[in-house]
Amino acid sequence: MNQLTQSLEQEGSSRFLSRGLAFLARPSVAVWAAIPLRLIVGYGFMEHGLAKLSKGPENFAAILHTMGVPAPHLMAWLTILTELIGGLAVLLGAFVALVSLPMAAVLVVAMLTVHLPYGFSSIKLLSVTSGRAQFGPPGYELDLLYLACLAALVFGGSGPMAIDGLLRKWRKGGHSFLEQSH
């Protein structure tokens, strides 16, 4: 009798789980999946750009120079602007396919030049002292997650409440950026 009860309970919970997953897979719900991706990717990029800007672009340029990056001051500013402008664009769902290219380039360069030697994991617990965890340098895990999120947004669309969607509707209405008003 115990096995029968357990079997029925498992069947009931799996039916509940499949119904819940079916609800999440409905187009009316699934369309919202882009929103959390836009929020975390947009905010994450902007946060990294603001951190570089607040510490001084010349300090970031010095790091790039030490790594042997050509034109370190130019590359520092291009990286900062890519993170700030690209992050804001993704956050707003504006020109996501366009801004994803330089954003992906920043991620690939960071992954290959900075994070690759530290392995995959973004968490490297070194020790615990005075009840506080001490972590080492992050690996390339987060770079891959950001790249996957950008790819999902490019191929799946920016979702609702996105400027890209408003522009698409505007163009379908017969409007053009090149038309002249009289």
The pLDDT value recorded for residue 94 is 96
Residue 180 pLDDT exceeds 90: no
When pLDDT is averaged across residues 131-140 and rounded to a whole number, the result is 93
Question: pTM of the prediction?
Answer: 0.78
Tokens of residue 180, six digits: 């002249």
Q: 3-class SS at 143?
A: helix
Residue 15 pLDDT exceeds 60: yes
Average pLDDT along the chain: 87
Cα→Cα distances 47→29, 86, 154, 169, 179, Å: 29, 11, 21, 31, 37
The pLDDT value recorded for residue 167 is 84
pLDDT band of 181, cuts 50, 70, 90: low
Q: Cα(158)–Cα(40) distance, rounded to whole angstroms?
A: 13
Residue 144 pLDDT exceeds 60: yes
